[in-house]
Amino acid sequence: MAKILLVEDHEEIWDFLSRRLKRRGYEVILAHDGEAGVRQARSGQPDVILLDMNLPVLDGWSVARTLKSGTDTRAIPIIALTAHAMSGDRDKAIQAGCDDYHPKPVDFSKLLSQISTALGETAPAS
pLDDT digits (tens, 9 = 90+) for 63-107: 999 999 999 999 999 999 988 666 678 888 899 999 999 998 999
Domains annotated for the chain, with CATH where assigned, are 1-41+52-107 (3.40.50.2300)
Give 107 or 126, the one with higher predicted confidence: 107
Specify which residues 37 forms β-bridges with: none
Q: State yes or no: pLDDT of 125 exceeds 60.
A: no
pTM, two decimals, is 0.93
Find, among 70, 103, 27, 126, the residue nearest to 62 by Cα. Answer: 70
Angle between helix axes 34-44 and 60-69 (nearest 10 degrees) is: 30
Q: Is 93 left (phi over 0), alpha (psi -120 to 50) or beta?
A: alpha
Helix 60-69 crosses helix 89-96 at what angle (to 10 degrees)? 30
